[in-house]
Amino acid sequence: MTLKAEEIPTLLRESVTGFPDSLEWQILSRSQSQDEPAIVVAAFANFLVRLEETSRDAEPLASAYEAIERLVGAGHGTLVEDEIFREVDETRPATRSGFEAALLPASAELFASWRRRNPHRS
């Protein structure tokens, strides 16, 4: 699957349930950064962590993990590692465990590789 970097904000906004209505997206809109791929992915990572910690609604989480899988499959693994994996790595162990368990195959493989290269500090 081909996905240009400049298409990432649209992918996340259109495919992740709740992201366009989230506090994280609203902050991006106010700062006029909603077209910057790395900034949008960082905001998405914050959104995902908040969902993992507070939501019982499966749909937003499922759509978030599908979007991560699409990013990895489209060759944007470095962006996923730098913005999403690093953010998740700073969370509580239960949040990290939930995140890891929910990853789809390509993103789970990338996360396992990233964890070997970046063991958690705690």
**Whether pLDDT at 122 is above 60:** no
Q: Does residue 14 lie in a domain region?
A: yes
- 79: in domain: yes
Q: Under a CB-based contact definition with an 8 Å cutoff, are residues 8 and 79 in contact? A: yes
- Full residue range of the structural domain in which residue 90 is found: 5-117
pLDDT digits (tens, 9 = 90+) for 46-89: 999 999 999 878 899 999 999 999 999 999 999 999 999 999 99
Number of domains in the chain: 1
Task: State how far the Cα of 112 lies from the Cα of 89, in Å rounded to an integer.
Answer: 12
Q: Is 13 inside any structural domain?
A: yes
Nearest to 50 by CA among 3, 86, 91: 91
pLDDT of residue 121: 56
Average of per-residue pLDDT values in the chain: 93
User: What is the pTM for the complete model shown?
Assistant: 0.94
Residue 122, domain member (yes or no): no
